[in-house]
Chain A
């Protein structure tokens, strides 16, 4: 598209068309992010002017016992997300790629739990895991009639219950990986077959490495979802019992309602840095900047 006279005449209009987007970007992204970073170093209740207090918020945030539990939970959940959760999503993608009968229907319904509001999904799980009328315990009682567990409200089951609300729901991973699988040039499959690679070898040596980007992206997405997980906890355990299922967004919201904005924003900066760290490390591990083909 060469820059000709006609086009140059329209450049001011092009800028004008971008103005609303730029306004939203400034108002809802740039200014908030700068505010978060700056005020995380201040004492601020939202009404008075923020006063600089150095690293006090961070030190308070890091020394809270709920933070240490949140960090432990985040590490555990991230590990589970990167291995079992993404692993299951990838497995489903490879299963669907074999195109067994009904694969399109399964691909279609697998997305439903992701389409349902995460608030509603949390409710559904609270009901399913309910001790009195929940489906899970009714099922277990068919075998062991005396079984009684209040999944979301008893240690150590609460952690397991919260994990189960997302563990197998990897439809986004499946769709991304399946997309990459379908984009593998067919001559690569043919070449593998001629070289005598059996089905499993072809998967291990060719298809899996060629889906490297998709798998890396999936791990990033699923770990960042763990960092930001809110509804699945706030509407079930609220971080309890004790602080068993505490996580950083729960601490952040509590700090806002306590009008401790400096602390809330220190927590936000920490979330942001964790996200960046995940992005960086997975990028390195999966060599996502190197071309695949």
Chain B
């Protein structure tokens, strides 16, 4: 009996199995191929890109990358992106983990309303605030500075960090805090030396999501900066492809420089990114 039912199952599901693998193959191709094509093309010269789009590069020549870095300032843009994204991420982590800590661990009037307001910010499309933020940054005298982007990016992480950090702090037993307070530890000390280290998974998750979002941000970088001195990578890429649309190799090299760091970071941290997306529905 068990044997026949097994063979029957296998026969019945073989068509389904083919379908499952076809869908998976399709997903794999559309996800990996565009990136792979860009990276491989950056190692081919102009004529090879035009004449044989399907061929593999004949050799791995890193000169286009070096040229993009040295002649077209991509070194500076990479540093700008890195500094702006990291500083904004670290400050947001500090600010919002403090806020989430209060909401998760203490009772006081208005805390539910505040939490609701903070997480509702997720529903405001960033573009809708373009004009007031543009004016705010101009009035603060910060337009065309790295500070402008740091400020704006800090604000982007609010909902997701609040959400993730509140859950992290709530999962730490309250008895730890009570014991520490009775021992006479101060508020800051309990937060900094006891709770924050225990919430490091939450810090990592929201930090990664925010960093990726900041690293990739284009809209406000375009709106708030103009000079090459403060330009970030996504914006530099847009300018570069406008100005050098005839040099395909360098365009692909520039594109590779912009996309690879994020992908590598994702591959290293994919468990956290996937868990965070599944629970919040937000990427960066």
A138: chain B residues at CB < 8 Å are: 53-54
Say whether, besides A118-B218, A135-B37, A272 and B124 are in contact (CB < 8 Å).
yes
CA distance A227 to B212 in the complex (A): 22
Return the CB mask of B174-208 against A: 1 if under 8 Å, else 0: 10001001100001100100000000000000000
Structural contact, B283 and A114, CB atoms closer than 8 A: yes
Residues 106-128 of chain B, each 1 if its beta carbon lies under 8 Å from chain A, else 0: 11100000100110010111111
Q: Which residues of B contact A126 (CB under 8 A)?
A: 241
Q: Which of A176-193 contact B (CB under 8 A)?
A: 176, 178-179
Cβ of A235 within 8 Å of any chain B Cβ, yes or no, is yes
A289 located at the interface, meaning its Cβ lies under 8 Å from any Cβ of chain B in the complex: no
Contact between chains at B53 and A116 (CB < 8 Å): no
Report whether A256 and B50 are in contact in the complex, using a CB–CB cutoff of 8 Å.
no
Cβ-based interface call for B30 (8 A): yes
Contact of A271 with B238 in the complex, beta carbons under 8 Å = no
B141: shortest Cβ distance to chain A, in Å?
A: 15
> B61-69, B71-79, B251-259: which lies at the A interface?
B251-259
Q: Which of B36-86 touch A at CB < 8 Å?
A: 37-38, 41, 49-50, 53-54
CB-based nearest A residue for B235: A119
**Residues on A with beta carbons closer than 8 Å to the beta carbon of B212:** 115
Q: Mark A35-48, 1 if CB is under 8 A from B, else 0.
A: 11001000000100
Chain A residues with CB below 8 A from B95, complex form? 20-21, 24
Q: Report A's interface with B, CB cutoff 8 A.
A: 1, 3, 6-7, 10-11, 13-15, 17-18, 20-22, 24-25, 27-29, 31-33, 35-36, 39, 46, 91-92, 95-96, 98, 100, 102-103, 105-121, 123-128, 132-135, 138, 168-169, 171-172, 175-176, 178-179, 199, 217-218, 221, 224, 227-228, 230-231, 235, 249, 252-253, 256, 261, 264-265, 268-269, 271-272, 275-276, 279
Extra 5 A-B pairs, beta carbons < 8 Å, given A169-B30, A176-B277, A217-B281: A32-B132, A95-B19, A115-B273, A179-B278, A264-B130
Interface residues of B (CB under 8 A from A): 13, 16-17, 19-21, 23-24, 26-28, 30-32, 34-35, 37-38, 41, 49-50, 53-54, 95-96, 98-99, 101-103, 105-108, 114, 117-118, 121, 123-136, 138, 151-152, 154-155, 158, 162, 174, 178, 181-182, 187-188, 191, 212, 215-219, 223, 233-235, 237-238, 241, 248, 251-252, 255, 258-259, 262-263, 266-267, 270, 273-274, 277-279, 281, 283
18 contacts between A and B (CB under 8 A): A6-B182, A17-B102, A17-B191, A20-B99, A29-B121, A29-B129, A33-B132, A36-B131, A46-B135, A107-B274, A111-B270, A113-B31, A115-B273, A116-B216, A123-B255, A124-B34, A125-B34, A217-B281
